[in-house]
Amino acid sequence: MNDSPVPLSPELLSGETSDIYFLRTHRIMEEEGVNPRVTMEVFPSGDGILCGIREVLALLRKALPSGGEVWALDEGEPFRLKDTVLRITAPYLSFGIYETAILGILAHESGWATAARQCVESAQGVPIASFGARHVHPAVAAIRDYAAAVGGCVSCSTPLGARLAGVPASGTLPHAMILCFGDTVRAALAFDNHMPPDVPRIVLVDTPGERGGVTPDLVKEARARLDLAGFQHVKLFVSGGVTPDRIREFLAQGAPVDSFGIGSHISGARPIDFTTDIKEVESKPLAKRGRIPGIIPNPRLQRAI
C-alpha cells in the first residue's frame, strides 16, 4: 500500500461526524474535571480482512497526547469473530469523541476488503480489478477502491483510490464514448491515438443482461475467433455482475478469462460491525455488565503508537 499521508477531513477531526452523545460526554467530563487514563479495545462481529487501521492510526496520532499507547493488527490482516484488532491506552478525553469514526472506518473498509478478498481467492490467480465507484457516494469512492486493493484487487477505477492504494487506475471505454463516436472500432482507435502507451487498451464489447450477459461459452467463442483471426495477444476481460460464485463458474468451465472487473459485490458488501469496550480505568480492570473485565490478549497485536 501507498505510504503517503492519509487525508483526514476537518469535520472528522472536529468531531462533527461523531454521535452527539460522545460530544456531550466530552463537555460534561471536561467541566467536571474527569479524565481517567483508560484502555479501550476494539473487536469485530465476524470474520474478515482488516482495513481502515491505517486511517484510524493517522487519526489517533493527531489525537493522543505523549504517553498514549496503541496496539493494532496490520492493514490487510485476517481476523476472527471477537478478535481484539485495536487497543488504545490514553486519557479518555483525548480520543473518546472519535469512537464513532473509528468504528465506522473499520466497519466499512473491512467489509469492502473482505468482499474483495472473496473474489481474489475465487479467481485463483486471475487478476481482479475494482470497478464499483459508481455504486457509492463520491465522498467514499476512493476509500472503497483503497479497501478493494487491500483485499487484493490489482487496480481500481478512480485516480484518487489508485493513489491511496498505490495501484494503477484502470477502466474500459464507456458506452457514452462509443455511442458518441457511432462505432466501437472508431472509438477504440481514437482511444489508442490519444492515450499514452502505459494506459491499457480495454475495449468495451457490451453484452448486457437484457441479451443474456457474459457467459463462459461466450468467452470461449470470443477467444477462439480472436485466435483464428491472428489476435492471440488480445486478452479477455470480463465484468458485469461478477461475483465469487460466477468467477468459480467461469473457471470450472474452462473459460479463458484473463481478468475480472468487480463492481457491486465489493461496493455493496455489508459492513462488518465493530464494537469498543473500555477494559481498564487507571490500570484497574473494568467492563460493562456482561463483558469480562481486563484486556483480551491477542499475540498478533503490534505496537503502532
The answer to whether the 10-110+270-303 and 122-267 domains have the same CATH topology is no
Give the domain ranges of the chain.
10-110+270-303, 122-267
Pairwise CA distance, residues 181 & 276, whole Å: 54
Rounded (10°) CA dihedral 83, 84, 85, 88: 170
What pLDDT shows up at residue 6?
A: 84
What pLDDT shows up at residue 7?
A: 84
Crossing angle (nearest 10°) for helices 99-123 and 53-63: 160
3.30.420.40, 3.40.30.10, 3.40.50.720, 3.20.20.70: which CATH number matches 122-267?
3.20.20.70
What pLDDT shows up at residue 209?
A: 67
- Of 258, 175, 248, which Cα lies nearest the Cα of 219? 258
Q: 241 in the Ramachandran plot: left (φ > 0), alpha (ψ -120 to 50) or beta?
A: left
Q: What is the DSSP string of 103-168?
A: HHHHHHHHHHHHHHHHHHHHHTT--EEE--GGGS-HHHHHHHHHHHHHTT-SEES-HHHHHHHTS-
pLDDT over 80 at 279, yes or no: yes
What pLDDT shows up at residue 89?
A: 98
Class of domain 10-110+270-303: alpha beta
Pairwise CA distance, residues 67 & 65, whole Å: 6
How confident is residue 289, by pLDDT bands cut at 50, 70 and 90?
A: confident
For 250, residues 6+ apart whose C-beta sits below 8 A from its C-beta are 216, 219, 238, 257, 260
Helices (H) and strands (E) counted in the chain, each on its own, are 12, 12
Average pLDDT over residues 218-247: 95
Within 10 A of 34 (CB to CB), how many other CB atoms are there?
11
The mean pLDDT of the chain is 95
- The rounded percent of the chain whose pLDDT value lies above 70 is 97
pLDDT over 80 at 124, yes or no: yes
Q: Are 131 and 262 in contact (CB under 8 A)?
A: yes
